[in-house]
Amino acid sequence: MSKFKKKRGKAKPAISTASLPDIIFMLLFFFMVVTVLRDSELKLKVTTPQATELTKLEEKSLVNYLYIGRPLEKYQSEYGTAPRLQLGDKFSTINDIPIFLEQHKIKVPENKRTRITSSLKVDGDVTMGIVQDVKTKLRKSGQLIVNYSAKQKAEE
């Protein structure tokens, strides 16, 4: 008989990592499905007019959206009921347009910068005064490709 016993077979088994990639991809897929990508929160009432002859914009990444309309009820106490301009997520003035355009231009590859389009989403009840001021500021800022957003008119 020996005084010392050998400790064989009592080592802890290694953790299997064979299923780890499956778990990672399931989590990745879950978050891709559940996550909502929001471009901007609309703080204005914008009901675009209806039209019959529309052209779809090809590359959405090359489009700046400028919203013009009256503030929603929850913002009327702070901003009033006069038509306002919204750039991105915040109310802005017409003088903020060049900065907004430059911030977008930086994100676009240099070879596509000449194809950047400014899309005006204008409420149908807004007078053309503010729209004309926005168009003038866009022209002075060098943004010459401008379009008006509209909804498809239902065929009767």
- Helix 128-140 with 97-107: angle, nearest 10 deg: 50
Tokens for 65, please give them.
């959206």
Burial class (CB in 10 A: 0-12, 13-18, 19+), 145: middle
At 111-124, the pLDDT tens digits run 999 999 999 999 98
DSSP state of 31: H
Contacts of 84 (CB under 8 A, 6+ apart): 44, 68, 69, 70, 71, 91
What are the structure tokens assigned to 91, written together? 């109310």
> Do residues 138 and 94 make contact, with C-beta atoms less than 8 angstroms apart?
no
Q: Regarding predicted confidence, which is higher, 35 or 136?
A: 136
CATH number 3.30.420.270 given to 44-151: yes
CB 118 within 8 A of CB 143: yes
Residue 7 tokens read as 């400790």
Q: How high does pLDDT run on average in the chain?
A: 88
Residue 34 banded pLDDT, cuts 50, 70, 90: confident
Summarised one tens digit per residue, pLDDT across range 71-83 is: 999 999 999 999 9
68, containing H or E segment = strand 63-71
0.95 surpassed by pTM: no
- The ranges assigned to domains in the chain are 44-151
Give me the half-sphere count of Cα atoms (radius 13 Å) on the Cβ side of residue 144.
2
DSSP 45-58: E--PPEESS----S
Place of tokens 């003038």: 136
